[in-house]
Structure 1
Amino acid sequence: MGISDLFDPQSIAVIGASATPGKLGNDAMANAKEFDGPVYPVNPSGDGTVYGYEFVDSVADTDADLALCCVPAPATPDVIEDCGRAGVGAAVVFAGGFAEAGEAGQTRQAEIRQTAEEYDIAVLGPNTAGHIIPHKNIFSSFVPGFDEIEQGDVAVVAQSGGIGVTATFQLEREGYGISGMYGLGNRVNTDFADVIPKLDEDPQTKAIGLHIEGTTEIDEFAEVVSDATTPIVALKSGNRMRDFVQAHTAAPNQTYERYEEILTANGGAMAGSVTELLDASRVLAKSPTPAGPNVGLVTAQAGPGIMMADYLAERGATFPELTAETQDQLDDLLLGFTYDENPVDTGRPMPEFGEVIDTVARDDNVDIVLVYEIFEHSLGYPIDELETLSAELDKPIVFTVAGPYDPLEPDRQRMEELGIPTFDAPERGAYATSVLVDSVR
């Protein structure tokens, strides 16, 4: 029982399930039906079936070990009591109206916490969008479309359901999927310190992205971050609008600097936006750990290359002088009007562009390779050379792409399969590279 039933349930009960489209209990069933094990729609007023599953009157009539609670806040304490008596080990409480909603809500939250402790139930929420684990076909959420999310290698743990949902759909739109999304909400008894160790053990999760407003268990948070071997990136919000935060997830007032200290002292990174949170998580998930902070930048267009070089230089990255051997090879490959120091600029895509990347990547002075190239139909991207490099070198390669979506997408997907993270704007590629630089400081 407990937290393991949240991550690996054998059966699921949807309490407050409904056959009426548009109701929360119907949306939750639409997602839960993808689960490979038994799913029980629980509603004493239900008649017949919903999505092919027969209604049952009570959670006591099931063998569920995970319950999705689709009932209003006032009914939730009794539902959690029913779950405890029925042997349910974990519950997801979607409803708001608890600690964030004044004295009556605080009392309700205290009631469900006490009952959960009595029966050893791990409660996700209340006030949550739920959680999904696509590689296990667990879609414990009422959010339409979550049942279509593909698996990836980044997990997102968010206090805000809205941030968790936004991050999940952004990863999906950009073609990456997600290893899991966990909406903590009000954290009645399931907090960062409970979820991070489980994700650290998960072979599908290669990086963990956190959205933080604040937690009363900050010492426990610091301990699990210190113990984790999986890279962790955090986005801390609610640093000024304290009343707004209190009305959202009832999070305590804590400084950005406290979380920054915890993360950076343990090899983690801080992000300034949802996009940065995901980009940093992706590059850390895909890339080998660099041997040092030295960046070799190869561009087929000088303007974006200058932007990326400026960004990285301002953040302390170094651009080492290339070896004499590398310089000789580049002199043979490049035209006279190009820039053949580091950064290396070819002026435009060229048939030898892959050879240029290969030459720079193999330079002993280079720890991280960053590339910018506009897609040209006659050339594509240098997939053959990149495949060889990814197999023979244990160095991060970050590729920034530009061009029309349909023609470049097959090459971009192949790069991702090779372990080369791709980004669609100069600043995104540069930021991701800066995260790799910071990871070895």
Structure 2
Amino acid sequence: MITLEFPIDPTDTAIGVMRDREHAAEAASIHRFFHPKSVAIIGASRRQDTIGQVLVRNLVMADFTGRVYVVNPSAPAVSGLPAYRNVNDIPDDVDVAVVAVPADAVTDVVLDCANKGVHGLIVISSGFAETGEEGRRRQRHLAGLCRSYGLRLIGPNCLGAINTDPTVQVNASLSSVMPNRGRAGFFCQSGALGSAILEKVKNRGLGISTFVSAGNRADVSGNDLLQYWEEDDATEVVMMYLESIGNPRKFSRIARRVSKRKPIVAVRSGRTTQGVPMGHAVRRIGAPQAAVDAMFRQAGVIQVDTLDDMFDVAQLLAHQPLPRGRRVAIVGNSDALGLLAADAASAVGLVVNRSVALGADATAEDFEDALDDAIDDPDVDSVIAVYIPPLDVSGEEVANVLAAVGEQSDKPLVSSFLGAEGIPELLRVPDVAGSSAGRGSVPSYPAVEAAVRALARVVDYAVWLKNPDGKVAEAEDVDVRAARRLVNGILSDPAVVAADREVELDQDQVTRLLAAYGIELWPTLQVRDVDDAVAAGETLGWNVVLKSTLPSVRERPDQVHVWRNIDDEAEMREAWDDLCRLVDPATGRFVVQRNAPTGVPIAVRSFEDPLFGPVVSFGISGPVIELLQDWSYRIPPLGEHEVSAMIREVKSAPLLFGYRGAEAVDVAAIEDLITRVAELQNDLPQVSSLELSLVLAGVDGARVLTATARVAAVKDPRPDSFVRRMPDLITTIPD
């Protein structure tokens, strides 16, 4: 008998290999859709104003460079192309099939395409999950069938896919608008919205490299497109309209990597309601909106509120260099608009270091001199140009100056030129790559406030790029195995298994769980009467506090619910009588603790979202802070600088740094505490929630006075996996 023992914990090398394999496979599968040598339209029709006819016309009118085949069993030809009864009758290979047949016939089409060796399907057909339970079952069957045959699927109920590369020119979509060649890749889910988006992109002169409307997103998702765009040299900016996020952890991981090379601009609908549209087979995110926003920021994603904001930011990123910092110069011929620009810049965190008012009669030469001086100024990182022409003046000469300066400048230049929107013809620089507007073209905004908002978001992205992730923050003296044994032991109790419910840990269990991660929870002794309170004081060696944990009085300045510095029996009895006048001892849940040094009360929380994964939050304790929701959020694992940023980004952070002459607290101790909580939540998905609701942060440390925790069986693994798989039945994490 030979016994071989070796560790199976994933190493950095193993994880790197898995990520590279995942990236290569998903990018290659999407490449097929954008670079097909042949496309078959299944359900092509001879009748005008039908989906099958529109698909044929759009593909042919886009000057697709590959072969087009049409499948129609009841017609000899469609739009002058010979029609085949079945995809298997096509004599040549088929790379992509565009499907526009009734929903109940799609399954047969999938089988035919699998037999033919088709690589990808674009299912335009509706009648799937967006229609109800029967449609959801049909969609699950469709996705499972495609996956079993190794087919990638865009849709169903989608608009389609477009590639503007002149060597391909494929418009496999219902959109009659073939956008101009550009530097931005675009992903959306809604088909109807996709058509409007393409029209708006064309009107702005922005241009698109590739476009996908994923519809119900049964298979191909935004994560797949990110994998492709990361390596696509034709795509320099990624735009995403997200109606739902199927795998937030994977999105965060991929987006963080892509953002280091290419900016991602995203609009996320349903931010307030966290709603999921019909047809999207995903669960609602239980995490609060602020936590999802934090995930986007961590990943470097530029999140905007509207589609117009997204285009405003994208056109700046696509045509101008990134700024080096927050310092701006304003050059214009309108004092009023210059002041508006300065106010708007200050409101979004930009610093106006230079403001030049040229006057209404300023010439093109005046603009050129002022712009050159601003760009040459080492204290200026970007320039905002404002031009409103006098009467009967076209502004063409000023436009030529702006275009010339924008082409040569290594600092971003944005404008509010004639109130135009997009990239006006006068401000475009010819592009040798063939896009509608070249690098250096100056984006124009109808209002200076829009120009400033777009610039501010690009500045935030540039600042994010300058702050590398750094190493993951790790705590010392952590016993993960002990914590897992404790949690698994609780969850394996027959009563807990039978009830299949969340379990709240008792004080001893919470103490042991936190101790495994080096967090000391101060002992809390529950007392029923004054004699219990006296005994508790003696047990703790006096210098104790007596307080009520009743939520209605806790942390309320108008309700004195805590007696401190109790040193003997007489003081304890006096304190007991005083508290009993305020709170009924039968319901007031009185406790005794050691007296902690004074400090700022803070709270650290974490929870496990079934879709989102682990989330950690930080805030100053108190009812006012709770009402104002002054919390910072992060998604573990945390980098060292992220822990520091969590503390400093809450609005009440000055309380920790010597507000009104108070001593600054030990911030390093708070950072260490957050690091340990984040590590615990990341290691133990069974911990459904953990709350350190009262931590006193003083000048010499942070002391955890109150903590609660709940655990629950893990029915599914966290949804961040390097392989596509069906959910399994894991309930506990092994030791």
Which moves more between the two structures, 123-132 or 264-273? 264-273
Q: Which residue is equivalent to 2:412? A: 396
Mapped partners of 1:256, 1:167: distance in 2: 25
User: CA contact under 8 A between 1:168 and 1:177: conserved in structure 2?
Assistant: no
Q: 1:221 to 1:409 in 2, by over 3 A?
A: closer
CA 1:387 to 1:174, structure 2 compared with 1: closer, same or farther past 3 Å? closer
Deviation of 1:37 (Å): 0.8
Match among 51, 58, 83 for residue 86 of structure 2: 58
| Residue type of the alignment partner of 1:166 | A
- Render the CA deviation track for 1:312-355: whole Å, top value 9, x for unaligned: 211111112xxxxxxxxxxxxxxxxxxxxx32222225121221
Q: Cα deviation per residue 1:174-215 (whole Å; 9 max; x = unaligned)?
A: 222211221122111111111112112222211111111212
Task: Report the 3-state secondary structure (helix = DSSP H, G, I; strand = E; otherwise coil) of the residue aligned with 1:132.
Answer: strand
Aligned equivalents of 1:114, 1:378: Cα separation in 2 = 60
Is the CA contact 1:6–1:90 (under 8 Å) kept in the aligned structure 2? yes
Between the aligned partners of 1:281 and 1:154, the Cα distance in structure 2 is 8
* Structure 2 partner of 1:335: none
Aligned to 1:6: 33
**How far is the alpha carbon of 1:222 from its aligned partner?**
1.0
Q: What is the DSSP-based 3-state SS (H/G/I as helix, E as strand, rest coil) of the residue aligned with 1:344?
A: strand
Find the counterpart in structure 2 of residue 346 from structure 1: 358
Task: Specify the code of the residue in structure 1 equivalent to 2:446.
Answer: D
Paired position in structure 1 for 2:316: 283
Q: 1:353 to 1:234 in 2, by over 3 A?
A: same
Report the residue type matching 2:342 in the other structure.
A
Deviations 1:256-282 (A, max 9, x none): 434422332233211111111111112
Which residue identity is paired with 1:72?
P
Match of 1:368 among 382, 390, 406: 382
Could you say what secondary structure the match of 1:364 adopts?
coil
Q: Does 1:246 align with 2:262?
A: no
- The 3 A distance-change label for structure 1 pair 199 and 29 is same
**Equivalent position amino acid for 2:43 in 1:** G
What percentage of residue pairs aligned between the two structures are identical? 27
Query: Contact 1:157–1:192 (CA<8 Å) still a contact in 2?
Result: yes
Tell me the TM-score normalized by structure 2.
0.54
Q: Which residue of 2 aligns with 1:331?
A: none
Please list, as runs of the form range in 1=range in 2, the aligned pairs for 1:141-290 lying within 5 A after superposition.
141-143=173-175, 145-146=176-177, 148-228=178-258, 229-240=261-272, 245-254=276-285, 256-290=289-323
Summarize the Cα distance change of 1:296–1:22 in structure 2 as closer, same or farther, 3 Å threshold. Answer: same
- Matched position secondary structure for 1:182: strand
Displacement of 1:55 in angstroms is 0.7
TM superposition shift of 1:57: 1.0
Change (3 A) 1:124 1:256: farther
Residues 410 and 219 of structure 1, relative CA distance in 2, 3 Å threshold: closer
Kindly indicate which of the two structures has a greater share of residues assigned to helix.
1
| Paired residue secondary structure (1:433) | helix
Q: Which has the higher contact order (CA 8 A, sep 6+)?
A: 1
Contact 1:298–1:343, Cα closer than 8 Å, also in 2: yes
Q: Aligned equivalents of 2:320 and 2:289: distance in 1?
A: 27
Contact 2:120 2:151 in 1 (8 A): yes
**Alpha-carbon distance, 1:239 to partner:** 3.1
Change (3 A) 1:5 1:349: farther
More off after superposition, 196-205 vs 386-395: 386-395
Deviates more, 1:166-175 or 1:390-399: 390-399
Secondary structure at the aligned position of 2:132 is classed as helix
Q: Secondary structure at the match of 2:396?
A: coil
Once the 2 structures are TM-superposed, how far is the Cα of residue 365 of structure 1 from its aligned partner?
0.2
* Secondary structure in 2 matching 1:247: coil
TM-score for both structures, normalised by structure 1: 0.88
The change in CA–CA distance for 1:251 and 1:374 in structure 2 (over 3 A counts) is: farther
Matched, 1:88 2:118: yes
Larger Rg: 2
Residue in 1 aligned with 2:334? 301
Q: 1:369 to 1:127 in 2, by over 3 A?
A: same
Q: How does 1:318-329 map to 2 (within 5 A)?
A: 318-320=351-353
**SS of alignment partner, residue 41 of structure 1:** strand
Whole-angstrom CA distance in 1 between matches of 2:67 and 2:174: 18
> In the alignment, does 2:375 pair up with 1:356?
no
Give, in whole Å, the separation in 1 of the partners of 2:217 and 2:428: 37
Does the 8 Å CA contact 2:99/2:124 hold for their aligned counterparts?
yes
Q: Which runs of 5+ in 1 are unaligned?
A: 321-341
Question: Is 2:458 the counterpart of 1:431?
Answer: no
1:412 to 416, 427, 432: 427
CA drift at 1:170: 0.4
* Structure 2 counterpart SS, 1:91: strand
Which residue in 1 is equivalent to 2:74?
45
Deviations 1:63-114 (A, max 9, x none): 2110111112111122112111111111111122222322211111111111
Q: 1:182/1:100 Cα in 2 relative to 1: closer, same or farther (>3 Å)?
A: same
Native 8 Å contact 1:14 1:40 kept in 2: yes
Rounded Cα–Cα distance in structure 2 between residues aligned with 1:306 and 1:69: 55
Task: Provide the aligned length of Structure 1 versus Structure 2.
Answer: 414
- 1:311 corresponds, among 344, 358, 363, to 344
Contact 1:212 1:234 in 2 (8 A): yes
Q: Give the whole-Å Cα distance in 2 for the aligned partners of 1:83 and 1:161.
A: 24
Q: Which 10-residue stretch deviates more, 381-390 or 308-317?
A: 381-390
Unaligned runs of 5+ residues in structure 2 are: 1-27, 431-436, 464-735
- In structure 1, C-alpha distance between the alignment counterparts of 2:361 and 2:101, rounded to whole Å: 58
- How far off its partner does 1:385 sit? 4.4
8 Å CA contact 1:3, 1:89 repeated in 2: no
1:161 to 1:304, Cα distance in 2 relative to 1, 3 A: farther
- Distance between the aligned counterparts of 1:186 and 1:404, measured in 2? 36
